[in-house]
Amino acid sequence: MSIIGVGIDVAEIARFAASLERTPGMAQRLFLDSELLLPSGERRGPASLAARFAAKEALAKALGAPAGLHWTDAEVYVEDSGQPRLKVTGTVAARAAELGVRSWHVSLSHDAGVASAVVVAEG
């Protein structure tokens, strides 16, 4: 296996939350329902959403930031163990296949008002 790409991104949580509030429909353009809602049906908090957004930005960077990727073609989820994962479909899966990506590694964090994510694409 070899590393095909690495991406990192940060998002200021308060700024991201304000963008979601002032831009109707933005959340639906960025996230799948499974990312917006907790298993209980409650909406995820702004820190969690900002970290997921940072992961999608980092994913795009790991793929070389090509034009035409759709935000909802990448799903950030967390396994029962607590480990974050990526599921890619559509435009993102096509670009990953083009580059030979076989697996993903993702790390999410948020602290001191900032959310961050690192994504490694491995082939």
Confirm or deny that 9 is annotated as ligand binding. Answer: yes
Structure token digits, residue 96:
């990953």
Residue 61, CB-side half-sphere exposure with 13 Å CA sphere: 16
Structure token digits, residue 107:
């790390």
Other beta carbons within 10 angstroms of residue 115's beta carbon come to 24
Strands, E assignment, the chain: 3-12, 74-78, 84-88, 103-111, 114-122
Cα–Cα dist 26/22, whole Å:
9
Confirm or deny that 122 is annotated as ligand binding. Answer: no
As beta bridge partners, residue 84 has: 78
Q: Torsions phi, psi of 11, nearest 5?
A: -140, 130
Q: From the annotation, which residues make up the binding site for Mg(2+)?
A: 9, 57
Q: From the annotation, which residues make up the binding site?
A: 9, 57
